[in-house]
Structure 1
Amino acid sequence: MVDEFLKWYFSRNPVAASSLGAEGYDHTLGDFSASAWAGREREQAEWLDRLSALDAPTLDDEIDRDLVLSQLRGSVALAAWPEWRREPAVYLSPIFASMYAPFQRRLKPEPELVASALLRLADVPAVLAACRANLDPDLAAPLLVKRGLGQARTGRNFLTRTIPSMVEDEVLRAKLAEAAEPAARAFDELVTYLEGFECGGTWRMGEQLYSTLLREREMLGYGAAELHEKGKAAWAELDARMREVARKVNGSQDWRAAMEFLMDDHPDTLEAMRAEYEAETLRAREFVRDRDLVTFPEGEECLVLPSAEYTRPVLSVAHYLSPPPLTSSRTGIFFVPFTPDDFTPEQVRQRLRTNSRAQMPSISVHEAYPGHHWHLSHLAGNPSTVRKVFRTPYFSEGWALYVERMLHEQGYFDTPATELAHLDCRIFRAARIVVDTALHCDDMPIEEAETFMATKASLSPGTAQGEVNRYCAWPTQAPSYLTGAIEIERIRESYQGPLKEFHDRIAGSGALPLGLAEKAVLS
């Protein structure tokens, strides 16, 4: 029945299916009409009932079933918070991702990639028309519409220039550019529509739904209020440690000032930043291999590239694109956070400062080795299809932050500067817990949240603004990093066996809700 569910899931989510590497879904963007959304919500509830009654003969079967149930419980709960009526990103992100990732990964011959792109381009006007039809002015929040507008404004250039420029064959390139024009006009129409769209909804999820997602989807034993307190306690503990380390950097206990000092040592240009990240990524890989901390998958490779143009208005930090887990590829991409083209020199400088040389080791460990890239390359070898399909950031982001601390224990951050930056990365995630829970439970205005992130972590005001904007649009995701890391550290304390064995086993079990990860490792 789980296999039957996956077939249903892929048919209703063809962009996700194609991104995962499932064959037969790269010809369409899917149906984004209101009736299709309502149908999916009804069918999800039916699947939840069916799978809840399913017996599992083995532990692996039980984990697979419970993983699907956790996802379905989250989706059913979110039906009360219909994102498809609230924000443009629901329609924009699948277009951008489905067009960009295949050409970036290049796992098929170029003529096949272009043929699929042509079919998807034909769907774009209908998807954007559905966006205009479905957005509800009483539910949509001005902040989320403005965020979507920023993305939509990149659509024409993305479709008519960026994507064709990734095609090597001149004839195919011209064909793709010509076919992109109707889709580009649809983006122009959406931009005009959103510029005049008036709405009065809220982006605040509310404590009840937020806590339900923590308990039902993430399978944590607590809700938003307790998570908020955990974040405050973690911040206070890290603050005390950072005061000690800061003395070794600038002679005072002011770690914020010490980090400001360290951030002045940064690459001069965006491309220089990318090159230094690439070198640091290779150093982290060799360190992990020399210490024999994990088993490396055969054929894995991590490319270090500039972030995609369409992500630059909405993502101000490094991020990672995994190899499609349903394929044989083990090549992932560590995207370095380039700025939008319209950024001022000062805005670019601030971005470079928040990617200083002291910070690069932690970020490279997190994104690549043995963080996201190693984990997701290793996970791709799991025989369970459903564990490759459904991943929670509370494990995947938790794992990436866990390995930062683990490499610190192994001696990787071997100077006061890199140790302080490592701790700053962790206290930043503690601040995220405090802010995200407070924002969505109606306890903190946006301006206060931006000030909190700019003073309780080493973020520039501009980066802090971008971060808070992201939290408003993506409730419950920001706390996943430190929450997951703490839970994985707790599981490690209970594990009886070598460290490498623990890493291979828990990371290879999937990116499961933490309760299931604990069961997979300790049972």
Structure 2
Amino acid sequence: MLCVPGDFSDLAAELVAETLAASPLLASAVGRTEHDGLLPDVSESAVAGRARRDDEWLERLDALPDTELTLDDAVDRDLARMALRGRRAMRDWASWRRDADTYAGAALQGVFVLLLHRLHPEPELARLVGSRLRAAPELLEQGIANLDPELASPELLRRSLGMVAAGAAYARSVAGDLAPEHRSEVAEAGELAAAAFERFGAHVSALAERASGTWAIGEARYDALLCDAEGLGYGAREMRERGQRAYDELDAEMRELARGMRGVPDWRAAIEAVNADAPDSPEEMLALYREATGSARSFAAEHDLVTLPAGERCEVVPSAPFNRGMLAVAHYIAPPPFQGGGVGHFFVPYPPEGASPEQVRQRLLTNSREALWSVAVHEAYPGHHWHFATLAAGGLVRRPLRAVLGSAYFVEGWGLYAEDVMREQGFFTTPGRLLAQRDARIWRAARIVVDTSLHLGEMSIEQATEHMSTKASLSPETARAEVLRYCAMPTQASSYLTGALEIARLRRRWEAEGRGSLREFHDRAAATGRLPVPLVERLLFPEDETLELAG
């Protein structure tokens, strides 16, 4: 007997409301504006209270049997359970005692997302920006109280210093993003926030000198994230083996591509030659990314690969100044799904303020004229932007848990899968672009080896940097920035290729069973949300659920 439809939707709405109240930045990102003047509470008592509520929610959700839920409700229940189990697996790691980004990143992104989406009239927007700037000192003071030198990694603390310094500058300049009549009050709040960033930076710098903690979460936690939070049937060591097998297969393929281009199988030399043709400046890099993004959009539509949502738009813009030292590669921020549409933003990886000429050159080499075409596909069409624009336009608010919770394995897997689809359909029209796309994929395979090895405690940062700069085409500067990101975000780096392979498996099944066209597969799969892959499969092939229940 099915429960009354409103019963589960009421439960889901309660969980969503509680989740967004605890995470005001997430609320702003998804377009729920009721918490737009707030920053998160990361006091010890608040962290403990959220952990208790997580346990209570798990108990409530575990008590709901499949037989009393519709398929969609059962999937949403399991999405919530997987997210809660993932948080529980990392609870004893206490990242709030280790990670300065918990504080600096939240204070910065909280202001940035308000100005990015601009969901309020200008006077109200100015008030909310000022409110978050005035809340920043308390959040940063919580960081000073919470960060523990015996737990925190000195390398990751130092990684945060660039963001903290850029944060002070951003806080002082942010009033300029508002109309003149609203600037004075915001500028005053920005000065208070900037001073707090400077105090926090001095504390983090001193803390890094005596910190003795590690970044490696260990095998048990890594396995729990894969199995409990993602529903994958394997742990870190098997994932590393899969990554190495994929690397070896791609290495053989790229040798043949290089042989066809240069007469010898040295694909690294071939990639170096391809990447040597780099933009002359960050401004030219931006213009080239815009050109490639427009071409990818047209190609995906003309080849009937996806349905473009009405009114979708992707703006290709320079990365935020406070992110440039920490994010050496392109990234994307989605339109807020609770607003029913909007603009997505594809951020081009500008070099940090004050970068040396050599650092600027290295950043440009990593975004060569040929390589940036696959990045545009991944970040925009039919990758992340198309996926999230589809969700924003498709009434995802009817399943609000899917707008709030999700899996990097599907999201990042989709971006990499999109690259392969565009390759097989003929989008990459030069040998250099074809080789660069495979290089982007082999880089993701190398990531799996490095990410798992780092968190198993079997590879140092220096070894990982060497691996990434020799097994892929990353410059040493970019490789180190990437490796530090892997240290700070366990399992995220492994999500790209792992997710892409899982999505490709679903497509093969779709086609083998004659379910519909390639466009229909893409539209259906993307419209499920950003669920862990096993939950996507349940929605694409619902008869599996029926057979299981009947059995």
Q: TM-score range by the shorter chain?
A: over 0.9
Which of 481, 489, 506 aligns to 1:491? It is 506
Q: Match of 2:519, as an amino acid? A: K
The reply on whether 1:131 has 2:146 as its aligned counterpart is no
Q: Match of 1:494, as an amino acid? A: R
Q: Which residue of 2 aligns with 1:190?
A: 200
Q: Match of 2:106, as an amino acid? A: P
Moved more, 474-483 or 197-206: 197-206
Q: Match of 1:478, as an amino acid? A: A
The reply on whether 1:462 has 2:474 as its aligned counterpart is no
Note the C-alpha offset of 1:174: 2.3
The reply on whether 1:389 has 2:404 as its aligned counterpart is yes
Contact 1:19 1:98 (8 Å CA) reproduced: no
The reply on whether 1:404 has 2:419 as its aligned counterpart is yes
Contact 1:302 1:331 (8 Å CA) reproduced: yes
Moved more, 489-498 or 207-216: 489-498
Q: Distance in 2 between matches of 1:461 and 1:184?
A: 32
Q: Distance in 1 between matches of 2:33 and 2:189?
A: 24
Contact 2:319 2:347 (8 Å CA) reproduced: yes
Deviations along 1:260-285, one digit per CA (max 9) or x if unpaired, are: 00011111000110011001100000
Note the C-alpha offset of 1:446: 1.3
Relative to the length of structure 2, the TM-score reads 0.93
Q: Match of 2:194, as an amino acid? A: A
Q: How does 1:40-439 map to 2 (within 5 A)?
A: 40-55=50-65, 56-161=68-173, 163-167=174-178, 169-197=179-207, 198-380=210-392, 381=394, 382=396, 383-439=398-454
Q: Match of 1:509, as an amino acid? A: T
Contact 2:281 2:364 (8 Å CA) reproduced: yes
Q: How many residues align?
A: 521
The reply on whether 1:37 has 2:47 as its aligned counterpart is yes
Q: Distance in 1 between matches of 2:78 and 2:142?
A: 33
Contact 2:28 2:114 (8 Å CA) reproduced: no
Q: Secondary structure at the match of 1:335?
A: strand
Q: Which residue of 1 aligns with 2:8?
A: none
Q: Match of 1:144, as an amino acid? A: L
Contact 1:204 1:472 (8 Å CA) reproduced: yes
Note the C-alpha offset of 1:342: 1.6
Q: Distance in 2 between matches of 1:330 and 1:292?
A: 23
Note the C-alpha offset of 1:251: 2.2
Contact 2:36 2:114 (8 Å CA) reproduced: no
Give the root-mean-square deviation of aligned CA atoms: 1.0
Q: Distance in 1 between matches of 2:54 and 2:129?
A: 29
Q: Distance in 1 between matches of 2:102 and 2:64?
A: 32
Q: Match of 1:500, as an amino acid? A: R
Identical-pair percentage: 48
Q: Secondary structure at the match of 2:34?
A: coil
Q: Distance in 1 between matches of 2:422 and 2:134?
A: 48
Q: Which residue of 2 aligns with 1:511?
A: 530
Q: Which residue of 2 aligns with 1:502?
A: 521
Q: Secondary structure at the match of 2:33?
A: coil
Q: Distance in 1 between matches of 2:25 and 2:426?
A: 42
Q: Distance in 1 between matches of 2:334 and 2:306?
A: 18
Q: Distance in 1 between matches of 2:338 and 2:94?
A: 29
Note the C-alpha offset of 1:108: 2.1
Q: Distance in 2 between matches of 1:135 and 1:235?
A: 38
Q: Match of 1:79, as an amino acid? A: R
Contact 1:91 1:127 (8 Å CA) reproduced: yes
Q: Secondary structure at the match of 2:339?
A: coil
Note the C-alpha offset of 1:44: 0.8
The reply on whether 1:27 has 2:42 as its aligned counterpart is no
Q: Distance in 2 between matches of 1:245 and 1:165?
A: 50
Contact 1:19 1:101 (8 Å CA) reproduced: yes
Note the C-alpha offset of 1:199: 1.4
Contact 2:330 2:347 (8 Å CA) reproduced: yes
Note the C-alpha offset of 1:116: 0.5
Note the C-alpha offset of 1:129: 0.6
Note the C-alpha offset of 1:438: 0.5
Relative to the length of structure 1, the TM-score reads 0.98
Unaligned runs of 5+ in 1: none
Deviations along 1:376-434, one digit per CA (max 9) or x if unpaired, are: 11022133111111121100000010010011110111221111001000000000000
Deviations along 1:225-245, one digit per CA (max 9) or x if unpaired, are: 100000000000000000011
Q: Distance in 1 between matches of 2:354 and 2:472?
A: 26
